[in-house]
Amino acid sequence: MQSHLLLAAQAMRLISTAALWLAGCGLILMTVFITAQVFMRYVMNDSLVWSEPASVILMGWFIFLGAAVGIREGYHLSFDVLLYFLPQNTKLILFSISDAVVAAFGAGMAWFGAELALSAWDVKLPSLGVSGAVDFLPLVAGGCLVFIFSLERLVLRAAGQPTARFGDVEPEEA
């Protein structure tokens, strides 16, 4: 069982690292697009009609991928003042409830994002020439990753493995 958990954790780490790299590349690419647009508009007195919609789509990707990685690493928002006064078992229960709620939220993001993508499938973005579904794909991918990473935290915690990165307080060593 432990070897399966370690293998799954390694796979999640690789997925998380890839998502973080993609998010970083998207941020850099968006910056290049906006810089090119500013140069073209104010120096060349012309405009790149595709730069703004492409940048908005890239922004969706790096926001949702980065948020999913933040969930996995424990950097998401939390209010943990109460946790300093609670017994360890209660803390673990609250962490698990939190991860379950976040997993449900991620599933909802993926489900409803997929519905939005399907509803915009036949719409064509005129400036990019691609399907309108492209606008909603970051929501679907981010939701899937949030769901998977939250489940990973729940499974690891249930198996007694550490999940803490930033906000969690793990069991004291015996």
pLDDT in tens, 127-174: 999 999 999 999 999 999 999 999 999 998 888 887 755 544 444 443
| Count of domains for the chain | 1
Domain assignment present for 164 = no
Helix pair 51-73, 2-42: axis angle to 10 deg: 150
Domain assignment present for 112 = yes
Domain assignment present for 71 = yes
Backbone angles phi, psi at 116, to 5 degrees: -65, -45
pLDDT at 170: 47
Burial of 157 (0-12, 13-18, 19+ CB in 10 A): buried
Domain assignment present for 166 = no
- What is the average per-residue pLDDT within 24-32? 96
Domain that holds residue 20: 2-158
pLDDT at 92: 86
Give how far Cα 9 sits from Cα of 22, 54, 76, 173, Å.
20, 33, 19, 21
pLDDT(54) > 80: yes
pLDDT at 165: 57
Q: Burial letters for 103-138: b for 16+ Cβ neighbours within 10 Å, e otherwise?
A: beebbebbeebbebbeebeeeebeeeeebbbbbbbb
**How many percent of the chain have pLDDT more than 70?**
91
pLDDT at 164: 59
Q: Tell me the pLDDT band of 121, cut-offs 50, 70 and 90.
A: very high
Q: What is the CA radius of gyration of the chain?
A: 20
pLDDT(26) > 80: yes
- What is the average per-residue pLDDT within 39-55? 93
pLDDT at 174: 38
Q: Burial letters for 47-70: b for 16+ Cβ neighbours within 10 Å, e otherwise?
A: ebeebebbbebbebbbbbbbbbbb
Mean of the per-residue pLDDT values of the chain: 89
pLDDT at 171: 47
- Residue 63 CA to residue 23 CA, distance in Å, equals 7
Domain assignment present for 167 = no
- What is the average per-residue pLDDT within 108-132? 95
Residue that has been written with the tokens 């949702």 in this structure? 64
Domain assignment present for 168 = no
Residue 140's contacts (CB-CB under 8 Å, 6 or more residues apart) are 109, 110, 113, 114, 117
Domain assignment present for 173 = no
pLDDT at 140: 97
- What is the average per-residue pLDDT within 93-118? 95
Contact present, 172 and 92 (Cβ < 8 Å):
no
